[in-house]
A and B are shown apart, each in its own frame.
Chain A
Amino acid sequence: MTFMKMTLGATALALMTGSAIAQTQVVGVSIPAATHGWAGGMNFFAQDAINRLEEVYPELDFVLATASDPAQQVNDIEDMVATRNISALVVLPFESEPLTAPVQAVSEAGIWVTVVDRGLSVEGIEDLYVAGDNPGFGRVSGEYMLSAMPEGGDIVVFRGIASTIDNERVDNFMAAIEGSNINVLAAEHGNWNRDTSFEVMQDFLSRFPEIDAVWASDDDMALGVLAAIEAAGRTDIQFVLGGAGMKEMIARTRDGDPMIPANVTYPPAMIATAIELTAVGLTSNAPVAGEFIIGSVLVTPENAADFYFPDSPF
């Protein structure tokens, strides 16, 4: 099936490129607006990739739209099809359900569709799927906890906004530490938000006299947690494991901060991968249809320099 899809996709692309050799093709990029740190980074890398690719491929035009809610994103996509005559669409859906039918319509109109990060509700719509590895994110985090605390210990867990992404991460984290002596005292939603996490951590510190480590699962949440620990003057917490690779946190890991010994990536730059692969597909005969999963990597002081992007806002 996948092979069929890939060959078909490649043939369709070859036909498209063949017939449109001289004229410019338009690539539509539709992403959520920068409403939190990670999305801010994603917006930055999208713009950065577009600027770079417009130089590399003079025959390609890019149109970028950022939406602050799913309805607006649907409008953006309809406008791109109606007025910009796009040949390919790169979309990071705000939410899966409301975007599925509109993106399906785009696909049925013969336009190449690349879906990023959040999958659609119906399988087989997109030609290319580029995504981060949420189960892997949880698993790598859990494995790090095991290696950092071989004797076991008591930890508290911070969850994101209740969603499939959060469930996949937490379930795989729990599976990774299952059977070990690592004991989860409590898990609470910090909603990927610094202020909320600060307050939740304050309350955890009041509730538990002894906490050995924190899985903050996100760097924004880790910053709130660290501020609460510092304010309370508690010394029992050995380290805080964040995630997603915010540049300030990567820098602290690189510089050997004992409270932040590691990070687990979930790179917002995956949007750049998606745009780049789409451009390659449009302009060459290289087949790019299928799935491209970007692994979550453990960042330690040794390799942190490779994950530090000073220009990114995230």
Chain B
Amino acid sequence: MSDTTAPPRRGFTLPPMTVIGPVLALVLLIVLGASLNSNFLSAANVTNVLARSAFIGIIAVGMTFVITAGGLDLSVGSMAAFVAGLMILVMNAALPTLGIGLPLVLLGMGVALLAGLCAGLLNGLLITKLGIEAFIVTLGSMGIYRSLVTWLADGGTLSLNFDLRRFIRPIYFDGILGVTWPIIVFALVVIIGEIVMSRTAFGRHAAAVGSNEHVSHYSGISVARVRLVTYVMLGLLVGIATILYVPRLGSASSSTGVLWELEAIAAVIIGGTVLKGGFGRVWGTVIGVLILSLIDNILNLTSLVSPYLNGAIQGIIIVLAVILQRGRKASS
């Protein structure tokens, strides 16, 4: 229905470094991985890496919108743990009445989406209606959700009923034509996110709000509503990520989702979104997520460096990836 025959306008000039930078870093990592281990490009390893990137990836797409609109959300990791815990508790509790089957799984999914949505809405309302700094609100909710999941689990681990776990395992491990569900959902979220960001009024409004709140306000954009929607979207995406996470190991504890918020934020920034807001790039975020996952993967596939130094290698590559994309800007 849309006009796809229109020729691209910037086809002749080489894309700027901000565009090539993250892609180049990703390509270099892939070449490095492939040269270090012959199994790196095997279907099994590619599936592993893409599927495990899906959680952070889906969340990071939402984070791209929040950051583009000038916000920040530190609570997503704890939120994911809390939503996972809640989902497991509800599914276990409803097991005797509903029995193992599709209705129970749908109930679990519904709970996860609803809980994510409410959590995002709560963050968003506190930030936009009460005008509290996003950093403070989400730092607070980060602690709250982390404590709540510890409390729900009584300090231990919440585990799905064993037979139920068998039943929902395919949500993480199976898929269509060898492409597993997490990868499919991740791809869909990215495509929809990219369209919303670059082709809709909402995407432009988010960038405008992040770029200059006052000008946006006088241009007739409801700053508060745009921001609120970005937090709600992020909450919903946390719910979706949790739906994919729970079937993997069938458990949640206070150590679930630790530091996911920082990984998501790092992926967003590596991808070229501006931390101060005003400009966002969903496809860049995907590259950022893949860079982060590949570093771990390559370090595990080889024994080049002492495992004590894994964090240092990660840090160096994150900073390098950002330098690579800003390099030309700094020198010109």
Chain A hits for B155, CB < 8 A: 33-34, 39-41, 43-44, 313
- List A191-207 residues whose CB lies under 8 Å from chain B: 192-195, 198-200, 202-207
Most buried by A among B44, B150, B156: B156
Closest B residue to A232 using CB positions: B44
Q: How far is the CA of A314 from the CA of B222 in the complex (A)?
A: 50
Q: How far is the CA of A192 from the CA of B256 in the complex (A)?
A: 12
**Among B157, B159, B300, B308, which residue has its beta carbon within 8 angstroms of that of A207?**
B300
Cβ proximity bits A185-228 to B, threshold 8 Å, 1 near / 0 not: 01111001111001110111111000000000000100110010
Chain A hits for B310, CB < 8 A: 189
Cβ proximity bits A226-248 to B, threshold 8 Å, 1 near / 0 not: 01000110000000000000001
Residue pair A207, B251 in contact (C-beta under 8 Å): no
Cβ proximity bits B149-160 to A, threshold 8 Å, 1 near / 0 not: 010011111010
Cβ proximity bits A146-182 to B, threshold 8 Å, 1 near / 0 not: 0000000000000100100000000000000000000
Cβ proximity bits A26-70 to B, threshold 8 Å, 1 near / 0 not: 000000011111011101100000000000000000000000000
- In angstroms, how far is the closest chain B Cβ from the Cβ of A219? 10
Q: How far is the CA of A204 from the CA of B39 in the complex (A)?
A: 11
Chain A hits for B45, CB < 8 A: 203, 206
- In angstroms, how far is the closest chain B Cβ from the Cβ of A180? 21
- In angstroms, how far is the closest chain B Cβ from the Cβ of A14? 37
Residue pair A207, B37 in contact (C-beta under 8 Å): yes
Chain B hits for A35, CB < 8 A: 150, 254-255
Chain B hits for A41, CB < 8 A: 155-156
Chain A hits for B326, CB < 8 A: none
Residue pair B249, A198 in contact (C-beta under 8 Å): yes
A-B pairs with beta carbons under 8 A, tally: 97
| Majority SS at the chain B contact face | mixed
Q: How far is the CA of A166 from the CA of B154 in the complex (A)?
A: 26
Closest A residue to B159 using CB positions: A248
Residue pair A40, B156 in contact (C-beta under 8 Å): yes
Residue pair B307, A34 in contact (C-beta under 8 Å): no
Give the number of chain A interface residues (Cβ < 8 Å).
39
Residue pair A206, B39 in contact (C-beta under 8 Å): yes
Closest A residue to B250 using CB positions: A227
Q: How far is the CA of A129 from the CA of B37 in the complex (A)?
A: 48
Residue pair A33, B308 in contact (C-beta under 8 Å): no
Closest A residue to B297 using CB positions: A203
B204 within 8 A of A: no
Residue pair B254, A200 in contact (C-beta under 8 Å): no
Residue pair A188, B307 in contact (C-beta under 8 Å): yes
Chain B hits for A203, CB < 8 A: 45, 48, 296-297, 300-301
Cβ proximity bits B287-300 to A, threshold 8 Å, 1 near / 0 not: 00000000011001
Chain B hits for A193, CB < 8 A: 255, 258
Cβ proximity bits B302-313 to A, threshold 8 Å, 1 near / 0 not: 110001101000
Closest B residue to A201 using CB positions: B300
Q: How far is the CA of A242 from the CA of B251 in the complex (A)?
A: 18
Q: How far is the CA of A248 from the CA of B39 in the complex (A)?
A: 34
Residue pair A40, B153 in contact (C-beta under 8 Å): yes
Closest A residue to B302 using CB positions: A207
Q: How far is the CA of A204 from the CA of B255 in the complex (A)?
A: 22
Chain B hits for A195, CB < 8 A: 248-249, 255-256
Chain B hits for A200, CB < 8 A: 300
Residue pair A36, B255 in contact (C-beta under 8 Å): yes
Chain A hits for B156, CB < 8 A: 34, 37, 40-41, 44, 312-314
Interface residues of A, Cβ cutoff 8 Å to B: 33-37, 39-41, 43-44, 159, 162, 186-189, 192-195, 198-200, 202-207, 220, 223-224, 227, 231-232, 248, 312-314
Chosen A-B contacts, 25 in total, with CB atoms closer than 8 Å, are A33-B150, A34-B156, A35-B254, A36-B255, A37-B157, A40-B154, A40-B157, A41-B155, A44-B155, A187-B307, A189-B307, A194-B249, A195-B249, A195-B255, A195-B256, A199-B296, A202-B48, A203-B45, A203-B301, A205-B44, A206-B44, A206-B45, A206-B301, A231-B173, A313-B156
5 nearest A-B pairs in the assembled complex, by CB-CB distance: A34-B155, A313-B156, A40-B155, A203-B300, A40-B156
